[in-house]
Each structure stands twice: as C-alpha cells, then as structure tokens.
C-alpha cells in the first residue's frame, strides 16, 4: 500500500506588503531585500483571519481538486508554528470548520519551517500502516503575528499563507520515501522564546534569528538530505524532475538546485511572491506549480525543508 497526493490547494490573504512598504517601516531597501533574499512581496493575514481560517480555504481547494467528499477524510495533520490558540489544536479547529464528523485523529505538528515535511511524512506512515485511508495534510501560518516589525533582520523575510494536500491510500506509488531529522542543540539560532508556558514565558514573543548561522546551517543540511534521499533509493540526481523546496531565501534554493544539477526552470520558486511562509511554503509552492500545469503525472519530485529546532527533512515522491 502506498500513499499518493490526489489534490492540492492553497490560500494567500488579500493584503500584500511590498518591499517598498517595508522601506517606510524599517531602515531597508527593495534592492537590498531582493539581492539578499529574492523576496519582492509577502501576504499578511487580516485582523479577523487566524491560521485555521487560512488552512480552511486551502483545504477546501485541495478537497475540490481531489474530488472527494470531506467526510472521507479520516486524518487531519496541520503543520504550524502559529496555532490559533494553545489548545484545541489548529487541526481540531479545522476539522470543525470543515464540518467533518468522521472521528478520525486530528493533530498539529510543530517543526516550524519543516512542519509540512514532518506532517506529510507522518500521514504517509498512517496510510502505509493501514490506520488511515484519506488524509488532509496542511501547512498554515500567520507568521506576521510573531514577527518583530522593528527588526529589519527578520521582518523582511516572513509572510502568511496556507497550503494543503489530500493524501490517499493507493496501489500506485506516490510517496517513495521520507527522511526527518532534528538537532535541539541549535535551539537558540532561530527562536521565539517567550509566549509559551515555560520558565521563559515572559520573554520576547517575537522571532529572534542569527541569520548568517541559519543560512550556513541550512545549506549544509539540505546538501546532506539530498544525498541521503537519493542514496536511500539508489537514485541519481538525473532521476529528479522537480525540486519543490522550502521557500526561505532564493540563494539557499539556488544552492540546493545546483547540488542536484537542476536548471532553475525545474526548481519551483515562489519566495519572490510569498516570502518565507514557514510550514506553508512547500504546499503553497507545490499547488502553484500544479495549477500552472508545470508538474506532470509520473514525474519525480523532491521536497525539502529546514527550520527552527533545528529540524530538517525531505519527501521524495512520484507525482
């Protein structure tokens, strides 16, 4: 038994924040942001929109694309680091908004920017083991709520959005393999220390990042995850048709594309339009490429991401 993506969907809030808008908020410039990150604009959730609302819109589109009845969904996993509330989970809130009464499990996965990779890998295990037949897997974020809008090192990077896929049991191979990693030794390199329930709860509830160190770490672990994924499957670089990477920085994306020997036309890039939407970035990029008709059935896709924790991982699949 395999698991296979049968539909994708995504949603971006209406409000667009351009680099020129940011020039009036912090000391920065459009040219600096484009040259260092590749980002031109990002979307920002409205005051009355929460992560579960973005997830709902993306999920509806994925359900429609898959042509399923929502009541078939027997597993919901949401990758998010910006949940609506401490509890219930965003996945339970989403299940309720979708009106699903199947009683199947619904839970959030917290792996920051690797959240969708972790969620998809988990759903794949549920389906392969026969526990679930039809999963809704979502990456959804309202990063704008945890950004320090006075810190030019970080506020230029992030955006809001959601992406979703329907993953169904199939006799045809879809997901080929998944690879997950974490190293909590790097916990301070990218963190929101305050706002939780721990002893640091009264600390800063906004993103703090050592950008240079994150950059070097990301390039290095993405390099090794590409090697690991190919060798686990006895595959060569030439076997990969598409790279669908986490969208953090165009320079990191280009480094991974180069490692794979892929021309940039075979690398899905949305960071210019979406910024870094954390767990939402990969399913947003996937849905964008699918709806543009770029990815064709039978092609081989490599998804990869790295995020706070630190966490990183990949999913290799046949479309």
Q: Which residues bind ligand UT7 (CB under 6 A)?
A: 28, 32-33, 36-37, 113, 152-153, 156, 190, 211-212, 214-215, 218, 248-249, 276, 307
Q: Is 153 left (phi over 0), alpha (psi -120 to 50) or beta?
A: alpha
CB of 264 to ligand UT7, least distance (A): 18
Catalytic residue among 19, 246, 249, 274: 246
Q: Is 153 a catalytic residue?
A: no
CB of 250 to ligand UT7, least distance (A): 9
Catalytic residue among 19, 43, 113, 274: 113
CB of 153 to ligand UT7, least distance (A): 5
Nearer to ligand UT7, 106 or 268 (CB): 268
CB of 75 to ligand UT7, least distance (A): 26
Taking CB positions, which residue lies at the least distance from ligand UT7? 211
Nearer to ligand UT7, 29 or 236 (CB): 29
Nearer to ligand UT7, 78 or 218 (CB): 218
CB of 16 to ligand UT7, least distance (A): 18
Nearer to ligand UT7, 62 or 157 (CB): 157
Compute, in degrees rounded to 10, the torsion defined by CA atoms 239, 242, 135, 142: 150
**Helix (H, G, I), strand (E, B), or coil: what is residue 307?**
strand
Other C-beta atoms closer than 10 Å to the C-beta of 174 total 18
| Contact (CB, 8 A) for 239 and 224 | no
Nearer to ligand UT7, 29 or 173 (CB): 29
Return d(Cα 101, Cα 96) in angstroms, integer: 8
Q: Is 197 a catalytic residue?
A: no
Return d(Cα 77, Cα 91) in angstroms, integer: 6
Q: Which residues are catalytic?
A: 113, 246, 276
């Amino acid at each position: 038994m395999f698991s296979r993506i049968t539909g994708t969907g995504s949603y971006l809030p209406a409000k667009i924040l351009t680099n020129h808008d940011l020039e009036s908020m912090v000391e920065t410039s459009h040219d600096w942001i484009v040259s260092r990150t590749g980002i031109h604009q990002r979307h920002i959730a409205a005051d009355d929109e929460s992560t579960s609302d973005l997830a709902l819109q993306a999920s509806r589109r994925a359900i429609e694309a898959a042509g399923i009845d929502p009541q078939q969904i027997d597993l919901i996993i949401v990758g998010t680091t910006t949940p609506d509330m401490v509890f219930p989970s965003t996945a339970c809130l989403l299940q309720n908004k979708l009106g699903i009464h199947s009683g199947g499990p619904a839970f959030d996965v917290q792996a920051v920017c690797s959240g969708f990779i972790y969620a998809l890998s988990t759903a794949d295990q549920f389906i392969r083991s026969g526990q679930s037949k039809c999963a809704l897997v979502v990456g959804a974020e309202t990063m704008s709520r945890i950004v320090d809008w006075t810190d030019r090192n970080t506020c230029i990077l992030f955006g809001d959005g959601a992406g979703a896929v329907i993953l169904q049991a199939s006799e045809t191979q879809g997901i080929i393999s998944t690879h997950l990693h974490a190293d909590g030794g790097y916990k301070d390199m990218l963190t929101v220390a305050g706002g939780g329930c721990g002893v640091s709860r009264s600390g800063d509830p906004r993103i703090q990042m050592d950008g240079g160190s994150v950059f070097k770490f990301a390039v290095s672990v993405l390099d090794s995850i590409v090697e690991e994924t190919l060798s686990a499957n006895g595959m060569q670089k030439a076997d990969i048709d598409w790279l669908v990477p986490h969208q953090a920085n165009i320079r990191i994306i280009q480094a991974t594309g180069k490692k794979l020997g892929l021309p940039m036309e075979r690398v899905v890039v949305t960071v210019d339009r979406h910024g870094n939407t954390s767990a939402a970035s990969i399913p947003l990029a996937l849905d964008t490429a699918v709806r543009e008709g770029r990815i064709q059935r039978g092609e081989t896709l490599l998804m990869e991401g790295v995020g706070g924790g630190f966490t990183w991982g990949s999913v290799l699949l046949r479309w």
